[in-house]
Structure 1
């Protein structure tokens, strides 16, 4: 099977190609990237006016499978990913039961091959049952291809146990993906601790809840040498600490989610549970610091923390609603609208933070690039398309987003995984 994509603007962070070019795919591989390719092909796609980027890699997704499949499944989550241009995703292990064994990782990988149209990397838990008491089978999960361990949804509060996990992760070639939250300091908070929380009369979550664990985890990574990836960073001090770690040469990276680089606590409607997420929406000053961190390449990755919930779990006031927001199907358009269109990121930086850098963190040498010999995981993205986000068009089971009706620019027209079209909007 030969697929030829013509007349698209190729963005390749690996080679630096930033120009109109054609892309020839044979089987699952990219075989040529050249101008004016004239070769026979089984299918030709005209990508005029669109970017051809390496498929997006989302390091932070909750698929809720197994155990909470009324919220999402491998299949629905995979289709939502394809709709959003995501060709590889990392599924967090806080499933029911917790994914904490080699056998569970193997089984989820086996199922994903059948049920999901995109690549799924199942991450493993740090401790058994995410109870923070006994280490999970880190070596076994590494053998099963988990790529990283994470206690996502909480932090391992015992530093000595976490240090042992980091050492094991480093010995087995794994990264540690850290959800930085000192649970002892949350104290029932439901939104950012600021003036808005005081006005609304609700309990707040201070920045230090995140910052204390960011500092601890960076110091532990320095001691153990493990690659540390800090998930869903939301504070200005997280950016400062990551910058300091990078200056010291430590293997530390950080991600930002679209909701954190767009919305602040001032946008919150206390009667609308769609604004409730963890970490919470922070101050305008934090939002600006996150944007600057992305612009200056201190913050490496844009991920979603895609966390679907049933409608009845979110259509509640802030104090009663579940924490979480979906993002697989909106991250590309929100990034383009709020960062690229506003001159904060270049289109190439968007490709770096949504594909190339995540591939490097995971050690996926065959992904994150539009170049000869790489796996044909690609997205065709139309930067001119203008529309408003409509949650009713989502392929995810989750519709929990405060961005419903939000005006955006930029749309995924086609998603290709292993040389096969897994999402194709009519007209492409």
Structure 2
């Protein structure tokens, strides 16, 4: 039996319903049972949310849980615990595991691990091609029947345009979006960071912005030709945002996401703040951190609704994956536990409205993959239906200490940074699953 929880006096923000008011939220019998002023419930545990934001549980469209096959980097248990602490109640897991979910039996084995170990709701994303190798289509019908919410080869772009067109066409008939990492690897040789002034100064091979824009343009045209739903993963460049805006103006079923890392950081993070270049491998991510002009274009695109969702691209790595020469280091940033802090710090700076940030963490991603078809109420606070709630203190200041994280991945360039905005409590399926300990002053 679920406990009764009364969340008292918070700013209730539900972009899906246009709700923004100081109200109480009552959680009982496993759901949000009531939202209104001065609610009462006998025997309820009261959580004083004065000064806090009460929102739907965060939804992440793009995360790497590493299990099976890469348990030294992370496990379903450790990474979903990290997601929980970051306010994410629903996570879509990318298929770069070993084995990769390219057929029904592998998918079912992964779902069994999820059922046994996950701390939050996990929806699987299936492969586009067998073993994500880009040569032949995976068993897409089996994957759809098995419950995947999208298809993707993740960090391996589908290079063959004919294969990509066929994949989109079949995904469309199966009612699934295809999430694509848009890159043209032929335009760069082992690019380790953004191509530009910083890569020149550091002597590192770069990835040009055109490599992303070229792939985005191609995939949009293939989506137009097939009528299929295309989701562009982690946009990073100003031109990519323009292309998505143009596609939406044409009425094409195109959505996209941006990571907290690309909203908050630039290519300068690779060099560091000291007089000598840091070559910080924790800032190595694919696609790479771009220029300040690109970062500002991403923020504008998010504010304008061109960018639908904030997705973490949480990518935990073992220490040895990053303690190497920059060009040899693994791509990826561990992000679950810093995501809310970076996003709300942007709001404090006046670079992003809190209302838009909440929408991009809740109703926006839920709509991209039509997740309410899988679990009604995801991404919204609808009495009698919704089951997940997050409480955020937007004024809480804290210092990033990756050593204290639940994630196995401590690989973040934010270590030691002071952020503003912290997750205070998380409710999943009507139950208080995590609450931050408030340090005494």
Give 5+ residue unaligned stretches, structure 1: none
* CA 1:311–1:42: 2 relative to 1, 3 Å: same
Query: Does 2:380 align with 1:372?
Result: no
Select which of 145, 148, 158 maps to 1:146.
148
Query: Does 2:425 align with 1:414?
Result: yes
Query: Does 2:272 align with 1:272?
Result: no
Query: Does 2:336 align with 1:323?
Result: no
CA deviations over 1:354-398 (Å, ceiling 9, x no partner): 111111112122211112122221111001101111111210000
TM-score by length of 2: 0.94
- For residues 114 and 155 of structure 1, the distance between their equivalents in structure 2, rounded to whole angstroms, comes to 31
Query: Does 2:238 align with 1:236?
Result: yes
- Comparing 246-255 with 265-274, which one deviates more in the overlay? 265-274
Q: 1:10-409, aligned counterparts within 5 Å?
A: 10-269=12-271, 270-338=278-346, 340-365=347-372, 366-409=377-420
Q: Is 1:379–1:415's contact at 8 Å kept on the other side of the alignment?
A: yes
Runs of 4+ that moved beyond 3 A: none
CA deviations over 1:341-366 (Å, ceiling 9, x no partner): 12333222111101111111121222
Q: Secondary structure at the match of 1:422?
A: strand
- For residues 150 and 267 of structure 1, the distance between their equivalents in structure 2, rounded to whole angstroms, comes to 28
Q: Is 1:413–1:425's contact at 8 Å kept on the other side of the alignment?
A: yes
C-alpha deviation, 1:42, in angstroms: 4.1
C-alpha deviation, 1:103, in angstroms: 2.1
- For residues 90 and 66 of structure 1, the distance between their equivalents in structure 2, rounded to whole angstroms, comes to 15
- For residues 268 and 112 of structure 2, the distance between their equivalents in structure 1, rounded to whole angstroms, comes to 44
C-alpha deviation, 1:28, in angstroms: 2.3
C-alpha deviation, 1:70, in angstroms: 0.8
Q: Is 2:133–2:156's contact at 8 Å kept on the other side of the alignment?
A: no
Q: Secondary structure at the match of 1:57?
A: strand
- For residues 107 and 385 of structure 2, the distance between their equivalents in structure 1, rounded to whole angstroms, comes to 26
TM-score by length of 1: 0.97
- For residues 193 and 419 of structure 1, the distance between their equivalents in structure 2, rounded to whole angstroms, comes to 47
C-alpha deviation, 1:110, in angstroms: 2.8
C-alpha deviation, 1:196, in angstroms: 1.2
- For residues 370 and 303 of structure 2, the distance between their equivalents in structure 1, rounded to whole angstroms, comes to 24
Aligned length: 427
Q: Secondary structure at the match of 1:281?
A: coil
CA deviations over 1:316-358 (Å, ceiling 9, x no partner): 33222111101111111100101x1123332221111011111
Q: Secondary structure at the match of 2:17?
A: coil
* CA 1:370–1:41: 2 relative to 1, 3 Å: farther
C-alpha deviation, 1:427, in angstroms: 4.7
Q: Secondary structure at the match of 1:14?
A: helix
C-alpha deviation, 1:244, in angstroms: 0.2
CA deviations over 1:142-188 (Å, ceiling 9, x no partner): 11110100010111111111111111111111111110111222312
Q: Secondary structure at the match of 1:288?
A: helix
- For residues 43 and 393 of structure 2, the distance between their equivalents in structure 1, rounded to whole angstroms, comes to 23
Q: Is 1:376–1:418's contact at 8 Å kept on the other side of the alignment?
A: yes
CA deviations over 1:63-111 (Å, ceiling 9, x no partner): 1110001101110011000000000001100111111112222232232
- For residues 205 and 426 of structure 1, the distance between their equivalents in structure 2, rounded to whole angstroms, comes to 42
- For residues 96 and 43 of structure 2, the distance between their equivalents in structure 1, rounded to whole angstroms, comes to 44
- For residues 204 and 346 of structure 1, the distance between their equivalents in structure 2, rounded to whole angstroms, comes to 32
- Comparing 77-86 with 223-232, which one deviates more in the overlay? 223-232
